[in-house]
Amino acid sequence: MGQISIVLIAGVIFLFFYEPSQGVGEFNQLLTLIVTAVITICPPLLAYFFGRYGTRTLPTDQDARLHRLYRIKRSAIIFECLLLIGYICDVYLLNLPLLIGKTLAWFPLINTKHLVGIVPLVTGLMLIRLAVYEVEQRVTSSNWKREEYLSVHLKFLLLPLLPLFAYLSLLDLIAHIPFLANHTYLPIALMMSLIFLAYIYAPLLLGLIWRTTPLTDVNLRTKLHRLAAQDNIKYKDIVIWQTESVANAAVAGIAPWSRQIFLTDALLQHFSDDEIEAVVAHEFGHIRYKHILTYLMFMIVYFLSYAIYYTYIGGPLESLPSTSSLLPAIGLVFFISLYFVIIFRALSRRFEHQADLYAATLTGKPDALQLALARLAYLNCTPRSIQRLFELFQTHPSVDRRIKFIERFKGGDPSASRYQNYLLEVKLLLILLPMLACILFFSTPSQLG
């Protein structure tokens, strides 16, 4: 969830909230097409020239260069927001969905056809990433190949759209089946089923980002299996992401029989066995403290919260006679941003600290973990420290903050040691689930709309 572009999600929301204004009949399709092209291209061009201007002179110190690059990459969100604003104008003022509808009038699946309208936004976001890549090459001369860089970023953008595409396609098919079309709760059941399947088969989705191969190093595999057996950590397999340029690790899959640990080839190439054990033990920490299950709970709480939001805020906004569909869409984007950017990422950063302490304890080698974190920052060309304000929007704490947190734990700091237990935030989720369900249950049908 942390890698999902909130700009893309906002664009999808504005697209599906669109309703043609009264009296809209014929409109200038050529003008809409030209403006769509301009809106798609201009923000990436601005991002590119801004990056070139920001790197016209570069400091010689490597850390200072990385901070300069980080500031430029951080500014990319400004150009993404400009792209989103232009896209909203394109949708609501120039009737882009109507143009899509007329162009694909022959296509029978209405909801699926509507989703095609997101293509200009995806194209613009990819062009902004291309601009960032060109600037990054000027600063760091990283090993990323342009094709690999764009392919990975495109896959990350499309991943959240795949379940949505499947959901909309199934809804379109259901609409053509008479005995299913009138079932009120079928779309909700379908959505929840897709979410559960996504969490179970997440390893397959992650395998679409980078090609995977089995871990063939028998000695390392044996060490990692023994490490997992110390605390009865269960998983299906450890596989290697073929990236050539990125040092990283991940765990995916809520069920032990589908769960996989992912290591990149760059991680195996540049890290010692002790450091690799520490990194993998960090992923074991996510399993031990059931972080993936907690994320699933977090998603369920979102749907319950959204139902309450719609009952008392979203629905009334839509029913106002003078309100266009733009205002309810803005309200929903704000709600999702608060939930998934501010709250979710705060929870994610705490989970990273918890997994770090678990790795330090399980391996008994906290120094190896600290070295691994520093090496990850160096190989991935990311600054070790980030200003606290900007860290609030990250899924991971800065490397320096994580290293200092491990130092506090080694020194016996009680505020750090409490992360060895289940966090208060997780317990609050367990309380919120039945509480929100009760609120919904006792809401009147008229309130639920």
- Residue 307: name the closest of 446, 151, 164, 436 by CA: 436
**Residues 332-344: pLDDT tens digits?**
999 999 999 999 9
Band (448; pLDDT cuts 50, 70, 90): very low
Band (303; pLDDT cuts 50, 70, 90): confident
Examine the pLDDT at 119 and tell me if it is beyond 90: yes
Q: What domains sit in the chain, N to C, each tagged with a CATH number?
A: 1-183 (no CATH), 207-291+346-448 (3.30.2010.10)
Dist. CA 99–CA 29, nearest whole Å: 6
CA angle (229, 234, 237) in 5-degree steps: 100
- Name the percent of the chain in helix, strand, coil, to the closest 5: 70, 5, 25
Instruction: Quote the pLDDT of residue 178.
Output: 66
Band (449; pLDDT cuts 50, 70, 90): very low
- Three-class secondary structure of residue 252 per DSSP: strand
Instruction: Quote the pLDDT of residue 24.
Output: 60
Dist. CA 386–CA 3, nearest whole Å: 18
Q: What one-character DSSP code corresponds to residue 314?
A: I
Q: Region 433-443: what's the mean pLDDT?
A: 80
**Residues 35-53: pLDDT tens digits?**
999 999 999 999 999 888 8
**Residue 38 exposed, middle or buried by CB count within 10 Å (0-12, 13-18, 19+):** exposed
- Three-class secondary structure of residue 23 per DSSP: coil
**Residues 363-412: pLDDT tens digits?**
999 999 999 999 998 888 888 888 888 888 899 999 999 999 999 999 99
Alpha helices for 22-145 (secondary structure H): 29-54, 62-92, 96-103, 110-115, 119-140
Examine the pLDDT at 25 and tell me if it is beyond 70: no
Q: Region 91-100: what's the mean pLDDT?
A: 91
Dist. CA 392–CA 148, nearest whole Å: 29
231 phi, psi to nearest 5 deg: -125, 20
What end-to-end distance do the CA atoms of the chain give, in Å?
A: 29
**Residues 149-180: pLDDT tens digits?**
898 889 888 888 888 888 888 888 877 776 66
Average pLDDT over the chain, rounded to an integer: 87
Residue pair 268/276 in contact by the 8 Å Cβ criterion: yes
Instruction: Quote the pLDDT of residue 447.
Output: 44
**Residues 43-83: pLDDT tens digits?**
999 999 988 888 888 777 777 777 777 888 888 999 999 99
Instruction: Quote the pLDDT of residue 141.
Output: 66
Residue pair 98/24 in contact by the 8 Å Cβ criterion: yes
Give the pair of three-digit tokens for residue 33: 């097409």
